[in-house]
Structure 1
């Protein structure tokens, strides 16, 4: 799914009005009617008090249209205009006049805290105060209104985006933003729904189709994509009946040190379970017996040193190399990595201490093949690119780093983001159970195994992140968040592949909905 920028959404609105020969007011009617239909389908006439808070711009206009439809259909509605400015948008004024045709009184005009209504925990709040175009500081009494929403503990539904939240910056204060239980977003979700510092402002979200111009939707290129099953299915490469292991490449995993052979074992198993035809492992001598016992499917090569890797030599021709898991950062290992990179000719996936060594010796970056995949956790990323002020600053620094060094960076997190130059691919699978030792080693192994089979490094990263998270989503049903361990991700990887071809169960009730025509 494409995630459109604010500017692109404005352009889409404009083109839709022009190409469909409708007014902006008609487009507003269409959009807000979709919100009403969403609510009506779920409430089916329930007489829960609904408080619709409208700003004086187009987001407020959406709120007025919604309130009008709710009133027409007999809901218990109270409508308020949050009068934070003397300016009104044209479409707000049109719908302000229209709502008077279905109610005996104008919406309540709010100018200060003295106008706050009484709201009970079982009521519903609809937030239609600010939309994506907010370009001013929120005045204090409106901030206090946002705080009041939270204090009431009433369910809060935001239209398009929680009020006060920008599409491209982190709020200065948590009190500057509405905390929504649900957000109904037009055309596409917003990037801020997926970033650690801003995702908390909406518990859930859903995209509503408001009939934007199809050519605009299909041809407009975005810098951000949301990755789910629909997006990864075209990536998947099925296997022919007469295929054999030689067709799926040879993954080489290099890593481990005394006491950390588990990391390289997990990565190697991940590579084979992701579909690599062959997996070999290069470890210090202390890892030989461990791997031959714990992972008999692997071929094992060892360094002459017992405890650490000091000289990377092997007599195979791997398709791809995954390196760095548990390898440590001893100066001899750094020298071994330097020598290896100077003669390496195959794609690379670099994780953990591999990244830490590069951070220590930045000259190694010049030796990386184009589209090398780096899979850092937050602290490893900070060592690589430096500290950041907030999530947007982090993304900008990662994009700059990716462009400069021509590498792919997988930013691991609740919504793992794969970055190539200016493009972001936001993953939707995974859960808190992945916050466990070794899960990152498994991910690097999965990506390595996919590259081995012929997936290009970018698609392997996107697909690998999806499968890794999906496997955990399936496994957590059996183990729960706390008891999920990295080995379970490998054990359930096959089910993640099978899930790609399962059809969703979508038996949804229907009720009469509002007419979207004027």
Structure 2
């Protein structure tokens, strides 16, 4: 699902009006009517007081359309005009007049805190004060109105975005924004719904189709995309009946140190579990018996040192190498890693101590093969790119980093973001149960296994994050968040693959030539 920017939405509105030969007033009518339909379907005429707070721009106009239709259908509606300045949009004024034509109870103006109405916790608040066009600080009394909403504990529905929330820059104070229980977003979700600093301002969201021009929606390239089953399924590589293990690639996992052989075991198991044909683990001697016992399907090569890796040297020819899990940062290990990078040409997935070594010796970044995949957690990311003040600065820094070094980077989090070619791919699967030891090692293995099978690195990263999260979601249904372990994620990878085909999108995929589906680049 595309995530359109503010400017793209404005362009879409303009193109729609021109191509469909409708005025902006009628487009606003269409938007407000869709909001009404959403509410009416759920409320079915319930006698709940509804307080609609309208700004004086186009977001407020949407609220006026909603108020008119609710009144015409017999709902108990109180409408307020949040009068934060004396400028009104033309579309707002047009719908203000239409509202006056259906009720004798005209909207009440709010000029300051003395005008705030009483709101019961059982009432409903509709926030139609500011939309995506907000570009200035909110005045103090309007901030007080937002706090008035929160103190009422009434359910709050925001239109397009919670008022006070910018779409392209951070919020200075959390009290400057409406905290919505639900947001109805036009055309696409907004990027701020998925960022750690701003996701809290709406508990749930849904996209409303307001009939924007289809050519615009289909052909416009966006800087961000929401990844769901619809996006990943066309990239799935099916297996042929007469295939053998050699068709699905050879993955090598390099890592481990004394006390951290479990990390390599998890990554190796996940690589095989995600479909790699063969997996070898390169580890220090101390892990040989452990890994051969815990994971007999893997082959093992050991370093000459008992407790750490001091020389990365092997005579096999893997298709992909996952490196860093449990590796440690001993000076001898760092030296071995440096020597390895300077001669390696095989595609890489780098995690954990591999990233920490790169952070210590950033000159090594120039040796990474193009489209190497980096999977840092927040602290590892900070070591790589430096600190950031807010999520927008973080994303800008990551984009700059990936462009400079020609790599793919996954920002791990509640909504993990894959950054590739200056674009953001935001994952929708996963749950808090993944906040557990070893889950990152499993992700490294999953992505490594997908790369081994011939997926393009961008697809392997995006698809791997999706599968990893889906598996955790399925496992959490059985174990809950608190008891979810990294091993469970591996065990449910098969279910995650099967889940891809539980929806009817498969029929669409089958119409595509297989050579176009298999190795498609996102």
- TM-score > 0.5, shorter chain as reference: yes
Shift of 1:342: 1.5
Residues 369-380 of structure 1 aligned to structure 2 (within 5 Å): 369-380=369-380
Structure 1 counterpart of 2:452: 452
After superposition, the Cα gap between the structure-2 partners of 1:504 and 1:73, relative to the gap in structure 1 and judged at 3 Å, is: farther
- The count of residues paired between Structure 1 and Structure 2 equals 505
Structure 1: distance between partners of 2:229 and 2:503: 11
The SS at the match of 2:234 is: coil
> How big is each residue's C-alpha offset from its partner over 1:244-283, in whole Å with a ceiling of 9 and x where there is no partner?
1000000000000000000111000010000000000000
Q: Residues 57 and 88 of structure 1 are in contact (CA less than 8 Å); yes or no, is this contact kept in structure 2?
A: yes
| Residue 45 of structure 1: aligned partner | 45
Equivalences for 1:134-173 in 2 at 5 Å?
Answer: 134-173=134-173
What displacement does 1:481 show?
A: 0.5
Aligned to 2:520: none
1:230 match: secondary structure: helix
Determine the structure 1 residue equivalent to 2:516.
none
Name the CA distance, whole Å, in 2 between partners of 1:114 and 1:422: 48
The question of 1:410 aligning with 2:410 is answered yes
Q: Report what 1:230 is aligned to.
A: 230
Could you tell me which residue of structure 1 aligns to residue 327 of structure 2? 327
Equivalent residue number for residue 200 of structure 1: 200
Query: How far, CA to CA, are the matches of 1:149 and 1:358 in structure 2?
Result: 48
1:285-434 pair list within 5 angstroms: 285-434=285-434
Q: Give deviations 1:50-76, integer Å, cap 9, x for gaps.
A: 000000000000000000000000001
**Aligned residue in 2 for 1:511:** none
Match of 2:515 in 1: none
CA distance in 2, matches of 1:412, 1:434: 11
Q: Distance in 2 between matches of 1:234 and 1:128?
A: 38
Q: Distance in 2 between matches of 1:244 and 1:148?
A: 65
**SS, match of residue 235 in structure 2:** coil
TM-score (norm 1): 0.97
| Kept after mapping to 2: 8 A contact 1:251/1:318 | yes
Determine the structure 2 residue equivalent to 1:254.
254
Partner Cα distance (2:122, 2:431) in 1: 29
Quote the Cα distance in structure 2 between the aligned partners of 1:248 and 1:367. 27
Give the whole-Å Cα distance in 2 for the aligned partners of 1:315 and 1:62: 67
Which residue number corresponds to residue 461 of structure 1?
461
1:513: which partner in 2?
Answer: none
Partner Cα separation in structure 2 for residue 54 and residue 325 of structure 1: 53
What per-residue deviation string (whole Å, max 9, x for no partner) do you get for residues 282-305 of structure 1?
000001001000000000000000
Secondary structure of the corresponding residue to residue 429 of structure 2: coil
| CA distance in 2 between partners of 1:430 and 1:170 (Å) | 25
* Cα shift at 1:504: 7.7
The C-alpha deviation readout for 1:220-265, integer Å capped at 9, x for no partner, is 0001000000000011111111111000000000000000000111
Question: 1:143, 1:176 within 8 Å by CA — same for their partners in 2?
Answer: yes
Deviation at 1:346, TM superposition (A): 1.0
- 1:56 aligns to what? 56
Q: Quote the residue 2:513 is aligned against.
A: none
446-455 or 234-243: bigger deviation: 234-243
Structure 2 partner of 1:220: 220
2:78 and 2:456 map into 1 onto residues whose CA distance is 55
Coordinate RMSD, CA, aligned: 0.8
Distance 1:40 1:370 in 2: 52
What is the deviation of 1:137?
Answer: 1.1
Matched residue of 1:483: which SS? coil
CA distance in 2, matches of 1:371, 1:32: 45
Describe how 1:462-481 pairs up with structure 2 within 5 A. Answer: 462-481=462-481
Q: Which residue of 1 aligns with 2:65?
A: 65
- Structure 2 stretches of 5 or more lacking a match? 506-522
Measured in 2, the distance between the counterparts of 1:223 and 1:104 equals 46
CA distance in 2, matches of 1:287, 1:457: 30
The answer on whether the counterparts of 1:267 and 1:445 sit within 8 Å (CA) in structure 2 is: yes
Measured in 2, the distance between the counterparts of 1:448 and 1:105 equals: 64
1: CA distance, partners of 2:136 / 2:491: 51
Q: Distance in 1 between matches of 2:289 and 2:457?
A: 32
- Unaligned 5+ segments in structure 1 are 506-518
Task: Quote how far apart the aligned CAs of 1:344 are.
Answer: 1.0
Q: Is the 8 A contact 1:400 1:421 kept in 2?
A: no
d(CA) in 2 for partners of 1:219 and 1:438? 40
Question: What are the Cα deviations for residues 444-497 of structure 1, in whole angstroms up to 9, with x where unaligned?
Answer: 100000000000111000000000000011110101110001000000010000
Corresponding residue SS for 2:300: strand
Q: CA deviation at 1:503?
A: 2.6
- SS where residue 203 of structure 2 aligns? strand
- Report the alpha carbon displacement of residue 421 of structure 1 after superposing the two structures with TM: 3.3
Which residue is 1:241 aligned to? Answer: 241
